[in-house]
Each structure stands twice: as C-alpha cells, then as structure tokens.
Amino acid sequence: MSTAVSSAAAPAKTVVPGPTGPRRGRHSLLRWLFVLPALVYMTLFFGYPLVRNIVMSFQEYTPRTYFTGEAPFNGLDNWRAVLSNELFADSLWHTAVFTVGSLAGQFTIGLALAVFFSRRFRLSGVIRAVLLLPWLVPMVVSAVVWRRVLDQDHGILNSALQTIGPADGGVPWLSSPSVALLSAILVNIWIGIPFNMVILYGGLQEIPRQLYEAASLDGASPWRAFRSVTLPLLRPVVTVVLVLGFMSTVKILDLILALTSGGPADSTQTLGTVTYQLSFLQLDFGQGAVVGNVLILISAVFAVLYLRANRADFGTGK
C-alpha cells in the first residue's frame, strides 16, 4: 500500500517542477480527496463510536434514554461506581493473567509447531491442516465442547487422568475458583495455537536457507542457529502475531460466557464479561461504557507500542 502511494505521488512532483500557487492548492486538494474515503470511513465507523463511547461514560445512559433521547450528564458518577466496584479490580487482574497466560502458551507452542513443520516430512501438510481445526470451529462451539470435556465427574479429561493416576474425585477444572481461570486459559491456548503456528510458519518460509547453511558451516548448533538466525529474522512476524493475539485475547467474551459465565464465584470475570454484564444485563450503558473505555485504552497503548515496533522493524528512511 505504502509503495503504491509513494510511486503515485512521485511522478506528480516531477510533472510539476515549480508548482505555482493555485496549482499546488489543487494538488493538495486532490491528495486530500484520495484520503477522503478512508477518512470518512474511519470517522463514521471508528471515530464516531469511540467518541460516543467516551461521552456515554459520563452520562446516565439507561433504557429511558432510548425512549426519550435524554441522557443527562452525571459527571464522574459512572467512573466512581465502576472503580469502587470490587469486581472491576478483580476482572482487570483476571484479564491480565488470562492475556499473558494465553499469549505465552499460544506463542510458545505455535512457534514450536511452526519450526517442527518447517522441515518437510511425509504427511506434514495433512497434519498441519488438521491442526488448523480449532481455528475453524466457532468459539462458542469449542467452549461448549470443552465444558463437557472438563466436567469434574463425567468429563473425559478427568476420566483419562484417573486411569493414569490416582486423582481422587477428579480435578475441579471449572467448578473451583482457583482452577477455573487456568482452565479458561488452557482452552484459549488450544484455540490460539493454529493462528500462531500459521503466521509463524509463513515467517519461517521467508528466512533464506543459505543463512542456516552458513551458520552450520560456522559450526552453530541447531539451538544456536534458532537463537541467532531464526529469532532475529522472525522478529517482525513475532511482533505481528503477539499484538494481534493480544488484541483478540484482551477483549475475550464469548469463550468465557459459554465456558463459565464468569463463574465460579466471579473467578473468570474479565473486562469483557463485566462490560457485557453492565451494559446488556443490567442495562446501565454508562457504566458499561466506562469498562469499555478502559479496554480501549489498554488496546490503544499496545497499538502504539506495535506501531513503534513496526517502524523500528520495517523503518525505511523515516
């Protein structure tokens, strides 16, 4: 995209060597017109909802608002109510643990599998295709199936564990507050592995074979080659995978709702489920917007970090 823009702009400059006043105005107008569709789109579908959401968090926005159109401003009431709600602090912590845990697991296993499949062997294509399945199954379906798998009494996971070891009564995967978040993380790791594997596999294909040959001629062990060749050259792809993974994990809602509904005893409540609960169950859209804004803020911080990292990786004379 960026190359297309610069090549289109370059001849325009050469055609008009010494731009006179009106001509330059026309050209800058022209450039703005090219930007306009994107600008209109962004304003309508990103800017407007974003601003609305921020404004809403300072309003008493209830079902009444929808009928009367009145949403009186109530200052910091919504923010105060949400921040003093113990559930908010808990959900913030759960979200952090869930995100870090999920990303670490997804990425490590995804990378290991990507490296594994980058060596060609028989049936590697078939197995890779099978590994994609968790990605293709709708999240809610996965969650419902996992709910059965993780059932304390009759789930196959506990049955399997009991046959290999003396697990008395089975692990309370989803019925104990101290284990439920871990279970949710494990399920999310399972869901996220294919995405990580595919993108990282693609990145690995881009690394020239000769570098590995050179490394082995220099006497590098496979681990050394992985650390000194694979990882540095994979860095841009790693950033993309981690940031995209972060974005989709931090706002998690559907998986948790279908798996535990935020329970037991609120142990799997995340910012996503709290927003849902406030906005769509309690119909307090003002307070829901507060949590939504916090979520946006967190995402925005990481989006900025991503852009900076990206500029460092792909930086071209800027």
- Report the interface residues with other proteins, using CB under 8 A: 11, 15, 30, 33-34, 36-37, 40-41, 44, 62-69, 81, 84-85, 147, 151-154, 172, 174-177, 260-267, 277, 280-284
User: Both ends of the chain: CA-CA distance in Å?
Assistant: 16
Min. distance of Cβ 295 from other proteins in angstroms? 19
| Nearest to other proteins of 267, 270 (CB atom) | 267
How many Cβ atoms sit within 10 Å of the Cβ of residue 95?
23
Q: Which residues contact 231 (CB under 8 A, 6 or more apart)?
A: 238
| Nearest to other proteins of 103, 185 (CB atom) | 185
Min. distance of Cβ 261 from other proteins in angstroms? 5
* Contact status, residue 185 vs residue 105, Cβ threshold 8 Å: yes
| Nearest to other proteins of 193, 257 (CB atom) | 257
| Nearest to other proteins of 177, 236 (CB atom) | 177
| Nearest to other proteins of 95, 230 (CB atom) | 95
Min. distance of Cβ 265 from other proteins in angstroms? 4
Min. distance of Cβ 190 from other proteins in angstroms? 19
Min. distance of Cβ 281 from other proteins in angstroms? 5
Cα 252–253–256 angle (5° rounding)? 100
Helix runs in the chain, H state only: 2-15, 21-42, 48-56, 63-68, 77-83, 86-118, 124-131, 133-136, 139-149, 156-164, 177-206, 209-217, 222-225, 231-250, 254-259, 271-276, 285-314
| Burial bucket for residue 271 (CB in 10 Å: 0-12, 13-18, 19+) | buried
Min. distance of Cβ 84 from other proteins in angstroms? 7
The dihedral region occupied by 138, where left means phi > 0, alpha psi between -120 and 50, and beta the remainder, is beta
* Contact status, residue 274 vs residue 87, Cβ threshold 8 Å: yes
Task: Report how far apart, in Å, the C-alpha atoms of 48 and of each of 55, 66, 79 are.
Answer: 10, 18, 21
Q: Which residues contact 67 (CB under 8 A, 6 or more apart)?
A: none
| Nearest to other proteins of 81, 309 (CB atom) | 81
| Nearest to other proteins of 60, 106 (CB atom) | 60
| Nearest to other proteins of 108, 282 (CB atom) | 282
Min. distance of Cβ 148 from other proteins in angstroms? 10
Question: Which residue type does 214 have?
Answer: A
* Contact status, residue 284 vs residue 278, Cβ threshold 8 Å: yes
* Contact status, residue 282 vs residue 81, Cβ threshold 8 Å: no
| Nearest to other proteins of 154, 318 (CB atom) | 154
Min. distance of Cβ 294 from other proteins in angstroms? 18
Min. distance of Cβ 18 from other proteins in angstroms? 15
